[in-house]
Structure 1
């Protein structure tokens, strides 16, 4: 952590979970770069943070995370404006417009979801990695979901995208962990947002996961306290920093909480 600045870039920071993460990280002492498609939303979140923390640096950097040139520009601006990006939070994401199976869905909408949820984190991570590697320190959080590991009768593109994001996490960990950069999948649970409240799947839901639970995990990971779990999956509202530290040795020994093919036994030829 010695070469890692206490600075964070959060994508999708203008609304929903991203807004909550940005506010929470600011309260935890992180300087921030807020990235999202709508400048007005980013400005509103920045104003909230500055009102609560007048000494906090907050950059607002409008961009579409699926457009490579825009991503390159905002990451460069964040590197310069913050003095380096210590923590990247790939939060920007979407879900299908219809809660239906693939046969009934609009395949172009399915692909839109995959593109935003996979191409976005891929581009932002690719742009942020050189600075982190040059400093020999950095943390990347991919906001993921249990949907990436569990089959579902609906939201095909969302499930595909989150599974692919989990694989991106394992790939980046394998490639750069020995050079000081750590990466973690964080599932935020079911947080009250415009997106979740519009999903028929959650009609009548009485229990929601507070976004603060995700902030706590991300702050702990970004601060280096959960480095042993790099490359793996945690869930806010179920996992805490304390529970993960208590079980870290078991998780690593079992190679648990990571995406892989399950074998039928030691004699499985593809194991």
Structure 2
């Protein structure tokens, strides 16, 4: 029963992570929320108003010792772990020649090493709980190159392959591993950094001609964690309004269809 199940969501203080935590809670899962921003996480935990079904853990996913303590505390509090959502990530957008060694190291540490560490720590607990599901949050930037994303896009491309590697090896433990690759989503970060011109460029390229909603990403993540996805593993699901499916000329074709 869902009431017995437990999920750990990283980067859960806001955005897609918080929307995903809420989706689990809506089906009576218990949820551990992890975030590096302790103050914001505390506010989120209080706002959820479900202290019996949730726990908040401040942790940097790139810290091996911190990750190990986190998973141990979840197992101690809830007694099991059925789903892990590796959502925590950072983006440093710079021209490739301006990316510093420190930029590169930090983006790879959080976006790629973090999911590696969290999965390594969580898998034994999942195995002992009878199996489970892991969802890594990649990005369309890991599928298509773009400007300013040398570190970010590379980290997400690596995460897509790590997903397949984890799926191949963890299936024997009863653990499925998939990834969700969001397209442009109306998060606070996107609203802060996407200018009207950038938003128009994205709209022009997507068949659905709009940004996604955090709740729409949460639905896809929750599905992959649920028993309804019991025969799905090793996949990267683009939740992107069709961004990855299209080539050039979409605005012109739309105009022709409207005028035809």
For the superposition of Structure 1 and Structure 2, which TM-score range results when normalised by the shorter chain? 0.7 to 0.9
Partner of 1:215: 218
Aligned partner of residue 183 in structure 2, secondary structure: coil
Deviation at 1:228, TM superposition (A): 2.5
| Deviates further, 164-173 or 41-50 | 41-50
Q: Relative to structure 2, which stretch is displaced further, 189-198 or 200-209?
A: 200-209
TM-score by length of 1: 0.79
Q: Residues 16-165 of structure 1 correspond to what in structure 2 (within 5 A)?
A: 16-50=15-49, 54=50, 57-96=53-92, 98-100=93-95, 102-165=96-159
User: Residues of 2 paired with 1:40 and 1:200: CA distance?
Assistant: 26
Farther off after superposition, 195-204 or 111-120: 195-204
Structure 1 residues 151 and 235, CA gap change in structure 2 (3 angstroms): same
Asked if the contact 2:9–2:85 (Cα under 8 Å) also holds between the matched residues in 1, the reply is yes
Which whole-Å CA distance do the structure 1 matches of 2:172 and 2:55 have between them?
Answer: 30
Structure 1 pair 118/237, CA: closer, same or farther in 2 (3 Å)?
closer
Q: Is the 8 A contact 1:26 1:49 kept in 2?
A: no
Displacement of 1:107 after TM fit?
3.3
TM-score, normalised on structure 2?
A: 0.82
> Structure 2: where are the runs of 5+ without partners?
201-209, 243-260
- Check conservation: 1:13, 1:19, Cα contact below 8 A: yes
What is the CA-CA distance between 1:200 and the residue it aligns to? 4.5
Query: How do 1:227-242 and structure 2 match up within 5 A?
Result: 227-236=230-239, 238=241
User: Which residue number in structure 2 is paired with residue 193 of structure 1?
Assistant: 187
Cα distance 1:32–1:118, how it changes in 2: closer, same or farther (>3 A)? same
CA distance in 1, matches of 2:3, 2:176: 12
User: Relative to 1, partners in 2 of residues 1:16 and 1:151: Cα closer, same or farther, differing over 3 Å?
Assistant: same
Shift of 1:201: 6.9
**What are the residue-to-residue correspondences of 1:6-21 with 2, within 5 Å?**
6-21=5-20
Identify, as 1 or 2, the structure richer in helix: 2
Secondary structure, in 3 states, of the residue corresponding to 1:140? Answer: strand
For 1:24-50, what per-residue CA distance to the aligned partner results, in whole angstroms no more than 9, with x for missing partners? Answer: 221232211011112221122222222
Map Cα deviations across residues 76-118 of structure 1 (whole Å, 9 max, x no partner).
Answer: 001111221110000000011x442x12333321221111101
Cα distance between partner residues in 2 of 1:22 and 1:3:
14
Contact 1:9 1:35 in 2 (8 A): yes
**8 Å Cα contact 1:32-1:58 kept in structure 2:** yes
Evaluate the alpha carbon distance shift between residue 137 and residue 72 of structure 1 in structure 2; reply closer, same or farther with a 3 A threshold: same
**How many residues are paired up?**
234
